[in-house]
Every structure is written in structure tokens, then in C-alpha cells.
Amino acid sequence: MIEHDFIPERYSVLIDEGKTTWRSPSNIALVKYWGKKENQIPANPSISFTLDACATTTSVSFKKRDHFDEGFSFELFFEGKEKEDFKPKINTFFKRVEKYVPFIKEFHFTIETSNSFPHSSGIASSASGMSALALCLMDIEKKLRPETTQDFFNKKASFLARLGSGSACRSIEGDLVQWGNHKETDGSSDLYGIKYPYQVHEVFKNYHDTILLVDKGQKQVSSTVGHDLMHNHPFAENRFAQAHENLTKLKSVFKAGNLYEFIKIVESEALTLHAMMMMSDPYFLLMKPNTLEIINKIWAFREASGSNVCFTLDAGANVHVLYPEKEKTEVYQFIKDELVVYCENGQYLCDRIGYGANKL
């Protein structure tokens, strides 16, 4: 599909008011997206596990405006309290998507949103938050255009979510979602995420992700600034090529259930993301001493026990500990015994692979 396909020609039904609620999960990238072009187009393809417990629930009540001007009309409540500081991001999002959902100028919206994980816990909520809002908008469009198919609904929801936050386009479905054009993946697109279309071994179907909250403070550098630092980065082109190669390698890894190669790719991707930030201009060191302590503990435990536990990182200090279902008892005990001590206030979140967003 192309961008023009998401611009509606007409709506077949008229509505005056209503309400819709969606719960959408976060996701954790295995092959990282880092660097973007105009209009939230990724510089390289990525693939992620959709999570389950870490999610945002968003309700949108809408009512026809008596009159409307050039601006958008909405109120925003986060966990029951009005949040003026969130409104500029929503306003920017509405500007980006107006062409594709032109009805947004016709309604006043009351947006109520909450996270299943603590605010300022160090877990990025943009993926779950923007995907939940995009799904609410698509649900309204489906009321205006009931003939919308489920496939189109999912693609356009992902497309809209991407315009709010790039990684949000990977949160619509599950359990593995790929985003970004990759010549060896049928149906892949820079415009939206797709369910991974190839065979995946059973071992990857019930993966766990325990998120160790090393640093719950505000990120040292925003994702937007971080992505922009890839422009003119001396190693950018090699990094983009590496992402393509790793996606190609994962095809056989997923099919065979090759945990050894999976670990090599996932941990290398995490460290490469941080290496790119260390070598940018200006440069940033996003890991904390406790991040490195955890990584070394994981490596030592894996060597000693033969476990298939591994780690990945987002653009911050927190560590995602990944492990298969069959190892959950031993690995969870290891986490409690040896890793939780490195978490801020001993805090961590237990999650696992999920299967996408749900209408409530």
C-alpha cells in the first residue's frame, strides 16, 4: 500500500457523538530502529516482541462541534488529572494525521489515558500511548465507514501510530512485528508494521521479558534528538546495513529455534544502539554503572548454567531480561537473587510476549 491509500474519499455514515476505548501494549525491539527520515520514515527496518502487561488504556469521547475553526478541540486527562503538558504532543500528532482522518476537525474530543506501569518508571509510554490513540481514531473512522476491513484497519492504525511515535506502529498486533522495508520480507513497508510473515519456532512463542528499572529519571536525551544524531553519523550506513543483515539472519533463527544465534543478534543489536550514541556528535553515554553490572551478571550466569537468558536495551539505562518459558523458574530466581539489587529502589516489571491491542 502507498500513503495515498490512507486518505479517505468519503464517509458513508454520519454520527454526532460516541466513545471508544482501546488497550495497547508496548513493545521491545530485537533489531533496533535508530535514525529516521522525514515523516517518521525509518532509516532501517526493525522487529520487535509485542509485550502484554506494559500497556496504555485510552478512552476517547467525541461530540460534534457546533462550530469549528482552524484548531483542534480536545481535553486530555492522564490517570484522572488534566495534563496540559501532554497537549502539545497530541496537537502535533493531530496535525500530522489530519489529512488521513479529516473528521478530527469536526469533533471535540475528551481523551482519558492511563498506563499499567508507573509513570516515570523509565518505561517509554510513547509506543503504547500513541498506538492506543491511533486505534481510537480508527475505531471512530470505522463507525463513519463501516465497510472498512480488518486488514485495512490494522494497517492504517499502524500507519497513524507511526506518525505519533515511530515504534508505536509495532504495537497494533503481535507477537512479532516488523516495520521498515526489507527486500527479503514479503509485505514489509516503511509506512506501517506487519505481523512477521514467516515460520517461528514454538520456543519464541512464550518468551518472558523482565524489565529491570536501573534509572527511573527522565532520559538524558530524547528519542527524537537521538534519531537526529544519525544524520551525518560516520558509521550510520554500516549500522543500517547491519540491521538489514540481522533481519535476514533472523529468518532462519526463528524457523529453527536457534537460541544461540538469537542471543548473539539481540545482544549485539542492543550494544550497537548504545555504541552509535557514544560515537555521535554530541555523544551520550546512556548506560549506568548498574546497567553494566547486570549485563556482566547475565553473561556469567549464562556461562555457568547453560541458560538461554539474554538482555536487550532501549535508549536508556534499563535492562530487558529475555528468556524462554521453559527457563522461567530458574531465571526468575536468578533475577531476584542477583539482579534486583542493581535496580533503583529494587523495582522491576515482569512481562511476556503479547498478541496486540484490544478494544475494551
Gap between the Cα atoms of 40 and 88, Å rounded: 18
Residue 120's pLDDT band (boundaries 50, 70, 90)? Answer: low
pLDDT in tens, 193-236: 999 999 999 999 999 999 999 988 767 788 888 999 999 999 99
Q: Which pTM does this prediction carry?
A: 0.95
Quick: pLDDT tens for 269-302.
999 999 999 999 999 999 999 999 999 999 999 9
Name the pLDDT band for 333 (thresholds 50, 70, 90).
very high
Taking 90 as the threshold, does the pLDDT of residue 118 lie above it? no
DSSP 336: I
Measured CA to CA, the distance from residue 53 to residue 211 in angstroms comes to 11
Q: What is the pLDDT of residue 119?
A: 64
Render pLDDT for 227-261 as a digit per residue (tens, 0 to 9): 999 999 999 999 999 999 999 999 999 999 999 99
pLDDT at 10 over 90: no
CA dihedral 293, 298, 301, 305 (to 10 degrees): 180
Torsion of CA 235, 237, 239, 242, to 10 degrees: -140
294-326: per-residue pLDDT in tens? 999 999 999 999 999 999 999 999 999 999 999
CA nearest to 170, candidates 181, 158, 180:
158
Q: Is the pLDDT of residue 170 over 90?
A: yes
- Any residues with CB less than 8 A from the CB of 132 and at least 6 apart, and which? 22, 23, 24, 55, 56, 57, 58, 113, 357
On the question of pLDDT at 121 being above 80, the answer is no
Percent of the chain with pLDDT over 70: 98
| 28-32, 118-122, 278-282, 307-311: the lowest-pLDDT one | 118-122
